[in-house]
Amino acid sequence: GENVEQHPSTLSVQEGDSAVIKCTYSDSASNYFPWYKQELGKRPQLIIDIRSNVGEKKDQRIAVTLNKTAKHFSLHITETQPEDSAVYFCAAREDSGTYKYIFGTGTRLKVLA
């Protein structure tokens, strides 16, 4: 079945350093790849997304890259700040049927001040 693998499961970086989270998906029909940030006890919030016809997208300190051939996509956060500390989830959405999201298992990012 469809699957999204996410690595690493935990990541600690010093404030100001960069953080990279990687995901691999299995369903070649997936065409939309959002990234969510979830703070403790709160809803997942969309922080950036990328569609299959684009290889890279950037929004201030956050960027996402997509390699459709390899079925890889990555989240890059530069100049990390303590408020970036949260759990980050990648997801892949099939572009047919239910358009359901398949989520990765999450990465707990800790930015050390």
Partner 1 sequence: ETGVTQSPTHLIKTRGQQVTLRCSSQSGHNTVSWYQQALGQGPQFIFQYYREEENGRGNFPPRFSGLQFPNYSSELNVNALELDDSALYLCASSLDQQVPNTEAFFGQGTRLTVV
Q: 42: which DSSP letter?
A: S
Contact range with partner 1 by CB under 8 A, out of 12-20, 38-46, 57-65, 69-77? 38-46
Q: Does 32 bind partner 1 (CB under 8 A)?
A: yes
Q: Is 39 in the site for partner 1 (CB under 8 A)?
A: no
Cβ-based nearer residue to partner 1, 34 or 64? 34
Nearest Cα neighbor of 35 from 110, 111, 107, 98 is 107
Please give the distance of CA 40 from its chain centroid, rounded to a whole number.
Answer: 17
Instruction: Count CB-CB contacts under 10 A for residue 61.
Output: 13
Q: Which is nearer to partner 1, 81 or 105 (CB)?
A: 105
Q: State the minimum distance, in angstroms, from the CB of residue 108 to partner 1.
A: 9
The residue among 20, 21, 27 whose CA lies nearest residue 3 is: 27
Which class for 112: exposed (0-12), middle (13-18), buried (19 or more C-beta within 10 A)? exposed
Decide: is 44 part of the binding site for partner 1 (CB under 8 A): yes
Contact positions vs partner 1 (CB under 8 A): 4, 6, 31-32, 34, 36, 41-46, 49, 51, 89, 91, 95, 97-106
